[in-house]
Amino acid sequence: MGVKTLKDPLVWIDCEMTGLDVERDALIEVAVVVTDGDLTIVDPGMDVLITPPAGALENMNDFVRHMHTSSGLLEDLKTDAVSMEDATEQVLSYIKRFVPQEGKALLAGNSVGTDKMFLEANMPSVINHLHYRLVDVSSIKELAKRWYRAAFSESPEKHGGHRALADILESIQELEYYRRVLFPSEPVTTERAREVAREVVALGIPTMGEQAEA
């Protein structure tokens, strides 16, 4: 699929860190997969390991250390890691191969707000190339949990093992699952959409002033 034909692109990113505190923890792995708006994967994806700053690995808690040891990430860091500058260049160049236009592709992933936070702190040029909106699969999952319990309960089991590229592919699979079970295969008609919009508006949303008076 050529760059010019890539419609509604999604840039799927998953990060592995030494913890969740962006002020003290380090970004150590970033993987990227690009899809079109129909979740068609346009390339197998890329993955890069990043040399952590001094002390970052020592500061990991036991849970994170066990997770990254079991996945093989800590061992791979010893031989395959590059500098943050080199990693940023690799990630941005990869994205631009498929989405050269700035601000066109949406960032996608699972609980991707955390990934975005670490990317903003460590790879701002990557975030600046993407649209400000996100596609977060975990949001759809949480809505399914509340409104469509069977769909939530039967979602595909995950086996990614906390490696970034495998986690991304499972996130794409998960969104495809929810797309099939939660979203109608036949698009809603304009007439029906307008009817539902009128119904929702008629329900009313109290303003802050009305809430205070109540």
Annotated domain spans of the chain: 3-204
Q: What is the mean pLDDT of the chain?
A: 92
Q: Average the pLDDT over each of 98-102, 130-134, 210-214 and give the range with the smallest value.
A: 210-214
The strands making up 134-136's β-sheet, listed across from edge to edge, are 46-49, 27-35, 10-17, 106-109, 134-136
Q: With 60 as the cut, is the pLDDT of residue 3 above it?
A: no
Q: What DSSP element (H or E) covers 30?
A: strand 27-35
pLDDT tens for residues 31-66? 999 999 999 999 999 999 999 998 999 999 999 999
The band of 2, judged by pLDDT with boundaries at 50, 70 and 90, is very low
Nearest to 141 by CA among 107, 180, 183, 174: 174
Q: What number is the average pLDDT over the span 167-189?
A: 92
At residue 209, the pLDDT reads 57
The band of 160, judged by pLDDT with boundaries at 50, 70 and 90, is low
Residues acting as catalytic residues? 132
Task: Please give the class, per CATH, of domain 3-204.
Answer: alpha beta
At residue 1, the pLDDT reads 45
Q: With 60 as the cut, is the pLDDT of residue 214 above it?
A: no
At residue 5, the pLDDT reads 64
pLDDT tens for residues 103-128? 999 999 999 999 999 999 999 999 99
Please name the amino acid found at residue 195. E
